[in-house]
Amino acid sequence: MSAFKLTARSASARRGTIDTPHGAVDTPVFMPVGTRGSVKGIAPDALRKLGASIILGNTYHLFLKPGLDIVGKAGGLHNFISWDRPILTDSGGFQVFSLSTLRDIRSDGVEFASHIDGSRFFLGPKESMDIQKRLGSDIIMAFDECPPYPCSEKDAELAVARTTQWAKICRDLHPEDGRSLFGIVQGSTFSAARERSAKELVELDFDGYAIGGVSVGEPEEEMLKAVETVVPFLPEDKPRYLMGVGTPRQIRAAIRMGVDMFDCVLPTRLARHGSAFVGDGDTIPVKAARYKEDFTPVDPECSCYCCSNFTKAYIRHLLNVGEMLGPILLTIHNLHHYLDMIRKIKAEMMLPNGIPRAR
């Protein structure tokens, strides 16, 4: 099992290190999302230059395309995508929520109709573990049920029960080979269900614990309440991962609560739509007409390749004529914004006053 070592604290916020077969990951950490084996809009070498230490892949999508045979013949996911640093793979449990019209939940797993061609296939804890092991994931996520928002308390409790049942199977199938297996806490917006889920998973002694079922449409205050509810029940000596979150301000708030790991599609998705993060986490629509003759950087305080070489006027031009370079430059900038935020938080954690709130 992979080791997690705490290296510094500031109130509830933590710094630490997760050892994996492909190197150490220093926490807090933001993990760019590469659902299908690629972080959209940026090459692996550029990601390394930005300082990304770990990325995500998705079990469901990689299983469908390119498929395990292709990845296996390539020598595993790391070789296939030319990424020599750690990879975390989601279990496919999120697709239980996101593809709700294309699946049927059973006690032993979920039967899906492929969103690509409609073909039927089954994904349960055994199948998810097998796929993730064959992909070569450094951090494997237990298969879970992510309920929708809103849902009834009864449905939340049923999802918790299934998640615990499936987590036990995943735990029994986990190889002792240096890779980590994380359990995923569910419970929707119900504190009692969240507490029950956390306690049941902690009893199974996972290598780390994720807070799942958030950022699925609930108000921000409900998401932060879920974090506040769950964290006290998670072990101090294991990493804590808030799945699919979020904005810079949400990440800073969760770090202050004691969360260590984050992923989110926002930086790359907003870049593709022409928006950039600036300052403490605000966004500006670079594609807007008001930037037509703005010959200043996207963010004058930013040192990324985009801001060091190009202006808002030029990037707006690229976006408006459909040139790929526009979204690529904004992707570089937005990911730099997130990764640089994390670097600054780590430095702030060594200061007497800890992590300041965003202005």
- DSSP classification of residue 199: H
| 117, 263, 282, 340: the active-site residue | 263
Alpha carbons 187 and 201: distance in angstroms, whole number: 12
Q: Cα–Cα–Cα angle for 93, 273, 345, nearest 5°?
A: 65
Alpha carbons 195 and 234: distance in angstroms, whole number: 10
Tell me if residue 173 falls in helix, strand or coil.
helix
Alpha carbons 294 and 292: distance in angstroms, whole number: 6
Alpha carbons 330 and 278: distance in angstroms, whole number: 11
Does the active-site annotation cover 260? no
| 90, 144, 207, 299: the active-site residue | 90
* Helices 248-257 & 220-230 angle (0-180, nearest 10): 20
Alpha carbons 327 and 315: distance in angstroms, whole number: 8
Strand partners, 208: 182
Of 288, 308, 282, the C-alpha closest to 297 is: 308
**Residue 33 φ then ψ, to 5°:** -95, 120
Cis peptide before 246 (omega within 30 of 0): yes
Does the active-site annotation cover 237? no
* Active site (catalytic) residues: 90, 263
